């Protein structure tokens, strides 16, 4: 089973290097990845997530608005009857905001500097996606 993941950049943040690295890392690890690009509206992220039947929405946020944007995405998914889609968030996230993000509905938080192998392992655990067999 291959999990589908949407990687999105909500709001006005135009920095996407990290999101592209995460998208490529997840793709290389066997996930199906949909990348929305920068400056996405919450409504568009939710619409794409539902249309693409993803298991996870990954938000990449460097703007400092991570708590508010995450809450808006979680609320919009619930309103779209898609609360089963997990939301994870990564980016410039102070340690003190991690619990706020979890309380707002984030299933996982990946601050800048999270090792990519940790990201993949946690995404596999979250989605129930097994690691591919070793060659």
Radius of gyration of the chain (CA): 14
pLDDT digit string, tens, across residues 76-129: 999 999 999 999 999 999 999 999 999 999 999 999 999 999 999 999 999 999
pTM to 2 decimal places: 0.94
pLDDT digit string, tens, across residues 13-48: 778 899 999 999 999 999 999 999 899 999 999 999
């Amino acid at each position: 089973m291959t999990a589908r993941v949407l990687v999105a950049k909500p709001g006005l943040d135009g920095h996407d290097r990290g999101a592209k690295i995460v998208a490529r890392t997840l793709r290389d690890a066997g996930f199906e990845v949909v990348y929305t690009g920068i400056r996405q509206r919450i409504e568009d992220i939710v619409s794409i997530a539902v249309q693409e039947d993803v298991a996870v929405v990954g938000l990449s946020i460097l703007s400092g608005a991570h708590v508010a944007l995450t809450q808006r995405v979680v609320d919009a998914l619930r309103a779209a009857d898609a609360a089963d889609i997990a939301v994870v968030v990564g980016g410039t996230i102070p340690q003190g905001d991690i619990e706020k993000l979890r309380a707002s509905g984030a299933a996982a938080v990946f601050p800048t500097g999270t090792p990519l192998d940790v990201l993949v392992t946690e995404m596999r655990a979250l989605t129930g996606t097994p690691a591919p067999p070793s060659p």
